[in-house]
Amino acid sequence: MKIRDLEALGEVRRQGLAKYKPARPRIAVGLGTCGIGLGAEEVYQTFVSAVEALGADVQIVRTGCFGFCAEEPLVNIAIPGKPLVIFSQVKPEEAEHILTDALAGTVDQARALCKIQSWDHLTGVVNFGEGFPGIPEWDEIDFYKGQKKIVLRNFGLIDPEDIEEYIAVGGYEALLKTLRNAEPERIVEELKKARLRGRGGAGFLVATKWESMRNAPGDRKYVICNADEGDPGAYMNRNQIESDPHSLIEGMVIGAYTMGASEGIVYVRAEYPLAVLRLKNAVAQAEAYGLLGEDILGSGFSFHLSLVEGAGAFVCGEETAMIASLEGRAGRPRTRPPYPSEKGLWGHPTSINNVETWYNVPVIVSKGGRWFAETGTERSPGTKVFSLVGKIKNTGLVEVPLGTPLRTFVYDIGGGTGDEKAVKALQTGGPSGGCVPEEMFDTPVDYEALAQLGSIMGSGGMVVMDEDNCMVDVARYFVEFTHSESCGKCVACRVGLDHCLRILNKISEGQGTEADRDALEHLGPMIRDTSLCGLGQSAPNPVLTTLRYFRHEFDEHIEKKRCSAFVCPELVCYYIDAERCKGCMACAKVCPSKAISGSRREVHNIDQERCSRCGSCCSVCSPAIAAVYRESGGITRRIEPRKKAKRAGHREKTP
Amino acid sequence: MPNQVKLKIDGEYVEAKAGESVLDAARAAGKFIPSLCHVKGLTPVGACRLCMVEVAGIPRPMPACTTTVQDGMVISTVSEKLTRYRQMIMQLLLSERNHVCAVCVSNGSCELQDMASKLGVTHSEFPYRYPRLPVDASHPRFVLDHNRCILCTRCVRVCAEVEGANTWNIMSRGVTSMLAADLNGNWGDSETCTMCGKCVEACPTGALAVKGKAVEEMTKNTDAVSRLATARGGTQQ
Ligand SMILES: Cc1cc2nc3c(=O)[nH]c(=O)nc-3n(C[C@H](O)[C@H](O)[C@H](O)COP(=O)(O)O)c2cc1C
């Protein structure tokens, strides 16, 4: 059934709304990769069988991720006329209870995480209902307070596998409007007003890129969506596609129309099988509804979208390498200019934009550029999605207005480390970014402010580090990553990073000298300034920022052969305190190098020659005994039990 | 399109053909810009990073070989920073593989050696990596010594763009990158190699050489390769 006009779209919208807000209870299980990883599939299946067993009139759907990954599996329950209620950490055995409650028109208010009375999908508002005073509104709980869902407008609410639910919340209306008005230059104008900047890392103005594409000569043009997200710790783009694939398609069709492209490609990591599956399904549905393919919405405009799965090279996220990869060549970047918008895929003008950039497009078209620019800062308007991970209590996808200080992420939204350990630094921008020390957490997150600190915003990875992270090791880790992902084309990156890595290895092994540290400071700027592509140009950032803000840790490793975080294996020795050891054999049993002597009820001893410094003994020695301790450069530390903080979703039960 | 543009290089006004590279324009004006991966007529790739110059208005140095001249461009080919970077890059090249001049067929007529001495680099401050790399002597006429290869890809390009044989390519990535014949077989078993020897002539070091040459006996005729490539119209970037 092809949609050709507003009326037909309206008809589908009504049908979709009947599914999204049905006259019977609806139970939606968050089945993004994050949810599935925490057992959501089983929860979903349990709900399905429970409904079957009861013969209940309840709708069970799969949805994407509502952002709070630490609290997955998230399940939301919509009872007609009542607010949508979100449950966190749902276990299969709770399914029946939740279901019978829902059938009785209620929920366990003490068990619920939050509720939504009315949701602004930005392309349409859905009022679920009022009630359940015992449950906080979603934006009243710490994790969501201060968040603003523009990109994530449909996430975890609609069924990503059903185009009608997307249409139900106003989806594809921006596209219809665009094709009806037939004024592509107006779209560029709106983008200019919005001052939307590319979300792939560099923050290039989208309007400028699109305008130069529009003006580029030639009738064959391509638009590409960059979904090759490869930064360690970043998974925004994956969840975006998994949770709301149609926003991407709509954004791309609008973009293609604006720029005069008739073909589009989504270059997505093959390591994201669920995203690939849901996007393929969405493309097929959009084609079936006449929203993609030939003669879209009866406008005469045709646009074909295909999917290409990347083979796992980080550097293929760089746009010229991506083009080479798409053309069947090895994924190695080339110098720009010429930019892809002048000379891209197969030599034709090509616009490459990040997944999240495309997600902003339909909203800007429907609500206007001015509206968009009201959020965020003057130079960086809008919101940005970050994946907040590492030593943080509330891990998840966080969308906040640009300009939000780092402190808000770590303490207000993230809830700190979740134990008594202090946060040491925040790593932004992945392997191209830097480590920002705690003292600088008042820095607002935008492209310029982070660059000033020597880091970058990048695509949105945020890794929190605490006192158990060694900053030398962090720098070493990221250089190891870029070193192994370097394409090898240019000397600066290929050989320069190899020397950096060798030096960092030396320092973390306690073999480093001051000259080594100085060599890093020499190599860094050279690699940054002379590398061919963004990979090499940004690869020194983790080294240079740690040297800048955590120099004392380098010096400690060099001068005192000490790793205060007890991370670098060569600098840490493990000992057993004879006074405390009860001779329980726990450590001796797990020791892979058989370095621990002493039999039952005998004090154990670690043979330092044999010890491989894996730390297994430390992790099995009961915290109540705490006989195993570590030593590094003259300081010692016992194992201390990590005190788990209370989970957000488990409030005290009211008796 | 005999369109002329005017630019300023190191304070001097220079005329250049529109579409020409900064490297060609500067060299035509008698400027010295070091480079190793460039051969006029072959597609410039910007791999060696020695030809970096400063362009007014652009914060980081740009490779002269892949940067096209533009009217009004202001360029400096010398600065303290550029010299330092070029010297460091030369050291990186020298430390990467096993460049032992005393036992090399190209000693005395090696572009890497010449360039090092022009840049005043006598040794590497970075530790030498001394990788163990093979020598492919399977070809009846030529020999490939990976120890001397600097991955400039001149051979790859001349083979593809002038000879049309596409025998060479670079496999793997990062520091493990290696020149490979066909699908990484022995060069001697290559089904595409026409034995034309242009790769050998284009190679700036002793990595590709004529079999049977002793130390210092190998001289290359890169100019001939460049003339051939240019006569064919060159390749646009
Ligand atoms: C090494 C490297 C990796 C990159 N990886 C990605 C990526 O995974 N996703 C992405 O959108 N952009 C990535 N980029 C940036 C792209 O080259 C390009 O700038 C971006 O896709 C443009 O889209 P935008 O303007 O919407 O940000 C990468 C760049 C470099 C240098």
Residue B125 contacts A, CB cutoff 8 Å: yes
Q: Which CATH architecture fits A15-150?
A: 3-Layer(aba) Sandwich (3.40)
Do B63 and B95 fall within a single domain?
A: no
Residue A554 CB neighbour total at 10 angstroms: 23
CB contact set of B156 (below 8 Å; sequence gap of 6+): B168, B169, B170, B179
Task: Give the CA dihedral A143, A146, A150, A155, nearest 10 degrees.
Answer: 10
Does residue B223 belong to any structural domain of this protein?
yes
Q: CA nearest A483 in B: which residue?
A: B174
Chain-wide mean pLDDT for chain A?
Answer: 93
Residues of A in contact with B49 (CB under 8 A): 490-492, 530-532
Task: Give pLDDT tens digits for A286-345.
Answer: 999 999 999 999 999 999 999 999 988 999 999 999 999 999 999 999 998 889 999 999
pLDDT at A623: 85
A383 in Cβ contact with A409 (< 8 Å): no
B103 C-beta neighbours (distance < 10 Å), count: 11
The answer to the question of residue B149 being in a domain is yes
Search chain A and give the residue with CA nearest B125. A519
Q: Among B63, B78, B93, identify where a domain stops.
A: B78
Residue of B45, B169, B177 with shortest CB distance to A494? B177
Say if domain A569-638 classifies as CATH 3.30.300.340. no
Indicate if B121 and B215 belong to the same structural domain: yes
**pLDDT value for A199:** 94
Check whether domain A172-372 has CATH 3.40.50.11540, yes or no:
yes
pLDDT at A266: 98
DSSP A303: B
Residue A226 near ligand 1, beta carbon < 6 Å: yes
Regarding whether B113 and B195 lie in a shared domain, the answer is yes
Is the distance from the beta carbon of residue A541 to the nearest atom of ligand 1 less than 6 Å?
Answer: no
Question: Domain of B12: which CATH number?
Answer: 3.10.20.740
Q: Please determine, for residue A387, whether its predicted confidence score (pLDDT) is greater than 60.
A: yes
With beta carbons less than 8 A apart as the criterion, state whether A177 and A297 touch.
no
Q: Are residues B140 and B64 in the same domain?
A: no
Among A336, A339, A495, A526, pick the best mutation site for testing chain B contact (most B Cβ within 10 A). Answer: A495
Query: Which atom of ligand 1 is found nearest the CA of A358?
Result: 26
Provide the pLDDT for residue A654: 36
**Mean pLDDT over residues A161-168, rounded?**
97
Enumerate residues 204 to 233 of chain B having a beta carbon within 8 A of any beta carbon in chain A.
Answer: none
What residues have CB less than 8 Å from A632, skipping those under 6 apart?
A561, A562, A563, A564, A566, A571, A572, A573
Residue with the bigger pLDDT between A418 and A275: it is A275
CATH number, domain of B96, equals 3.30.70.20
Domain that holds residue B19: 4-78
Q: Establish whether residue A399 lines the binding site of ligand 1, counting it when its CB lies within 6 angstroms of any ligand atom.
A: no
Has residue B143 been placed in a domain? yes
Count of positions (residues) in chain B: 237
Nearest CA to CA, how far is A491 from chain B (Å)?
A: 6
Q: Which of A330, A502, A526 sits opposite B85 (nearest CB)?
A: A526
Residue B2 is predicted with a pLDDT of 59
Residue finishing a domain among B39, B55, B78: B78
Percent pLDDT > 90 in chain B is: 96
What is the band of A655 on the pLDDT scale with cuts at 50, 70, 90? Answer: very low
Q: Whose CA is nearest to atom 30 of ligand 1?
A: A318
Planar angle of CA A509, A514, A517, nearest 5 degrees: 75
Structure tokens at A609: 């020659």
B236 part of a folded domain: no
pLDDT at position A640: 67
Asked if B74 and B93 sit in the same domain, the reply is no
Contact criterion met (CB < 8 Å) for B67 and A496: no
Split into its structural domains, chain B has a count of 2
Cβ distance A549 to A435 under 8 Å? yes
pLDDT band with cut points at 50, 70 and 90 for residue A457: confident
- How many A from CA of A199 to the centre of ligand 1? 8
Percent of chain A at pLDDT > 70 equals 98
Q: Is the pLDDT of residue A21 over 90?
A: yes
Query: Can you list the pairs that A48-51 forms with residues at least 24 positions away whose Cβ atoms lie under 8 Å?
Result: A50/A95, A50/A96, A50/A99, A51/A99
Residue A203 has pLDDT above 80, yes or no: yes
pLDDT at B194: 97
Q: Which sign, positive or negative, has the C-alpha torsion A449, A452, A458, A463?
A: negative
How confident is the model over A222-235, as pLDDT tens digits?
Answer: 999 999 998 888 99
Interface test with A, best of B67, B70, B173, B236 (most A CBs within 10 A): B173
CATH T-level topology, domain A383-466: Ubiquitin-like (UB roll) (3.10.20)
Q: Give the gyration radius of chain B's Cα atoms.
A: 18
Please give the C-alpha separations between residue B188 and each of A564, B136, B151, B161, B191, in angstroms, as whole numbers: 56, 8, 20, 21, 9
Claim to verify: residue B20 and residue B59 sit in the same structural domain:
yes
Whose C-alpha lies nearest to ligand 1, atom 23?
A353
Domain boundary among B45, B78, B111: B78
Cross-chain CB nearest to B46 (options A335, A497, A523): A335
CB within 8 Å: A335 and B126: no
Interface of B with A in 166-205 (CB under 8 A): 169-170, 172-177
Asked if residue A175 lies in contact with residue A253, where contact means CB atoms within 8 angstroms, the answer is yes
Testing ligand 1's pocket by substitution, the residue of A316, A352, A493, A537 carrying the most ligand atoms inside 8 A of its CB is A352
Residues in chain A with CB shorter than 8 Å from the CB of B150 are: 491
Among residues A628, A534, A619, the alpha carbon closest in space to that of A578 is found at: A628
| B89 to chain A: closest CA residue | A492
Residue B117 sits in the same domain as residue B52: no
Q: Is the CB–ligand 1 distance for residue A230 below 6 Å? A: yes
> pLDDT tens across B152-205, in order?
999 999 999 999 999 999 999 999 999 999 999 999 999 999 999 999 999 999
Say whether both B94 and B154 belong to one domain: yes
Binary contact (A532, B129; C-beta < 8 A): no
Closest CA to B109 of B200, B196, B46, B43: B200
DSSP secondary-structure letter at A6? H
SS3 call for A645: coil
Token digits for A419?
Answer: 């134990």
Of B45, B61, B150, the CB nearest to A530: B61
pLDDT band of B235, cuts 50, 70, 90: low
DSSP string, A495-520: HHHHHHHHHHHHHHTT---HHHHHHH
Q: d(Cα B35, Cα B63) in Å, to the nearest integer?
A: 10
Angle formed by the axes of helices A236-243 and A355-367, to 10°?
A: 50
- The topology (CATH level 3) of A471-560 is de novo design (two linked rop proteins) (1.20.1440)
Q: What's the whole-model pTM score?
A: 0.93
Q: Does a structural domain hold residue B215?
A: yes
- Are B123 and B177 found together in one domain? yes
User: In the predicted model, is pLDDT for residue A610 greater than 50?
Assistant: yes
Question: Which pLDDT value is given to residue B140?
Answer: 97
**B12-50 pLDDT, tens per residue?**
999 999 999 999 999 999 999 999 999 999 999 999 999
- pLDDT cut 90: percent of chain A above it: 89
What are the residues whose beta carbons fall under 8 Å from the beta carbon of A575, sequence distance 6 or more? A606, A628, A629, A630, A631, A636
Q: Which two tokens stand for residue A73?
A: 């599996």
B154 within domain boundaries = yes
User: How much distance in Å is there from the Cα of A150 to the middle of ligand 1?
Assistant: 21
Cβ separation A487–B92 shorter than 8 A? no
Confidence of residue A272 (pLDDT cuts 50, 70, 90): very high
Strands B74-76 and B52-55: antiparallel
**What are the boundaries of each domain within chain A?**
15-150, 172-372, 383-466, 471-560, 569-638
Residue (of B165, B161, B133) closest to B146 by Cα position: B133
Which residue of A494, A520, A531, A533 is the best one to mutate when testing the B interface, meaning the one whose CB has the most B CBs within 10 A?
A494
Ligand 1 pocket residue status of A255, Cβ below 6 Å: no
